[in-house]
Amino acid sequence: MGIITGLNLGSELRFKLTSQNVKWIFVFLSAFSIFYVLYVLEAFGIQQGVSYSNHSYFERCLYYTLANGVIYYFFEFIVFTKKYQLTNLARLFKVVIYTLFGSFIVFLLFNYFWCWTEWTFSAYFLLLGEYLSLMLLPFIECFFLEAHLKKTAVNSDYLTFSSINGKSELKILPSDFLFLKSEGNYVKIFYRNNGLIKKELIRNTLKEIRKKHHENSALLQCQRSYLINPSQIQKKVQKKGKCSVEIESFEIPVSTNFKNNVWQA
């Protein structure tokens, strides 16, 4: 039996905390941490008077906060999209990228405020250490929230594909399901697991699976032998009277009978 876990919640928390909300919480904390530590706690011994660029201490802290929030928003909602589940190694890489980009932008602003008098490697590495200490709380909080979402996922959140004899079963989250293909008395199911594309062969028919999941929007028939997840469609192609959709690196045919449903999905 294959079971995939992901960042979904049980029904009791579905409208309170989602993976999308975790992203917003992370962006907010990353920005707020800078303002709170620098302006409220007055940490790191930063000079509080007017800078050489004629910006007050409050204005400088506000610019640091906004810049960091924009950077983290860009990465969270544009670069690391919700369609991709990250492995632990990828999460570590993500921390490094965020830290390097965020600290460098803050370093640029700092030097702008002080007319580039601190434009040295030693000054940057000092700021890098201070910046990382500021970002520890947002990173740790984000990881705990993601772990909570993963832990509280319940069976009702899964798509369940069972064999006819009931001896084998595959449970995956709707957000991880890509498509399935009928192969005689079997169906081959393609899904995402920790950022990798996997497939599993189960003895069942497409007709039976469609009947069982007829109310689930994550399964849409596009051709006699295919059921697809419309939310995973990356491209719709119509060429020389033939239609198809692209999901990941797969090109899946769309028949005339199902074209309107697929194109409107």
Using one digit for the tens of pLDDT, what is the confidence trace for 208-257? 999 888 878 889 999 999 999 999 999 999 988 899 999 998 999 999 99
Q: Is the pLDDT of residue 152 over 80?
A: no
Tokens 């802290």, residue? 61
- Structure confidence at residue 85 (pLDDT): 56
Phi, psi of 50 (to 5 degrees): -75, 135
The mean pLDDT value for 199-214 works out to 91
Using one digit for the tens of pLDDT, what is the confidence trace for 172-183? 988 899 999 999
How is the chain split into domains, by residue range? 13-151, 156-264
Q: What CATH number should be reported for the domain whose range is 156-264?
A: 2.40.50.1020
Residue closest to 252 by CA, chosen among 228, 216, 218: 228
Q: Characterize 191-227 residue by residue with b for buried, 16 or more Cβ atoms within 10 angstroms of its Cβ, and e for exposed.
A: bbbeeeebebebebebeebbeebeeeebbbbbbebbb
Contacts for 92 with CB less than 8 Å, ≥ 6 apart: none
Rounded percentage of the chain residues whose pLDDT exceeds 70:
88
Using one digit for the tens of pLDDT, what is the confidence trace for 6-28? 333 333 333 356 777 888 999 99
- Structure confidence at residue 156 (pLDDT): 52
Mean pLDDT of the chain: 86
Band of pLDDT at residue 104, cut at 50, 70 and 90: very high
- Structure confidence at residue 14 (pLDDT): 38
